Chains A and B, each alone.
Chain A
């Protein structure tokens, strides 16, 4: 099946720093999604991207759908302690109902 490579696996940053993480795929997707998961909770949708080249912001978060449709990145600016969690990218093609997840990026923010 389609594999998503998400990097980095983990990040340890200082409060106030910017963060960048990305996902790449061997196949094209029609939709890229970014989720955040807190411990013991379900993933929460942060940003959804539907067009190649699309750049979308949600507060301090910005995500882009790569031109090749095989990659996406998520940036977090001026990180705060509540940004701690696991961030998952996910991609979906129109030819099936499945959504493929990356392995996640665990973010730790030091005050």
Chain B
């Protein structure tokens, strides 16, 4: 089945220690998104890639970076995690938002910062 895959599902990192979360998709979608979701809140968009074109949200901290080496993979790098960065990180994809807007989410990676 075509899907969005996130690894790992659970990640523990130390305060200030860089961490990378990964996402892959078999949907061949043009757009890949990274969201941060804290408990009982809606997902908050961090950035997205439209093909190779990177689009950062204005309020996304510089501590968060992303890479998309090819269509299938996208990475979220947190350079120096703080306690406030503990959250669920969701990857999503869409074909082309100008045609159809639905996004398909992966299962998420829950990040704990100790």
Contact = CB atoms under 8 A, between A and B. Distances in A.
Q: Do A and B bind each other?
A: yes
Secondary structure at the B interface, as helix, strand, loop or mixed, is strand
Range of interface residues on chain B?
20 to 34
Nearest to A44: B105
Contacts of A33: 101-103
Contacts of A104: 40-42
Interface stretch (A12-20, A74-82, A94-102): A94-102
Contacts of B94: 97
Contact of B97 (A44, A48, A97, A101): A97
B42 A88 contact: yes
Given A31-B102, A41-B107, A48-B100, A97 B90 contact: no
B101 A92 contact: yes
Interface stretch (B11-19, B43-51, B76-84): B43-51
B64 interface: no
Nearest to A98: B45
Interface string A34-60: 010000111111001010000000000
A101 B43 contact: yes
A30 interface: yes
A101 B42 contact: yes
Given A42-B6, A99-B97, A104-B42, 13 more contacts: A30-B101, A31-B101, A31-B102, A33-B103, A40-B108, A41-B108, A42-B4, A50-B100, A90-B103, A96-B97, A97-B48, A97-B97, A103-B41
* For the complex of A and B, 4 pairs with smallest distance between CB atoms: A31-B101, A42-B105, A92-B101, A101-B42
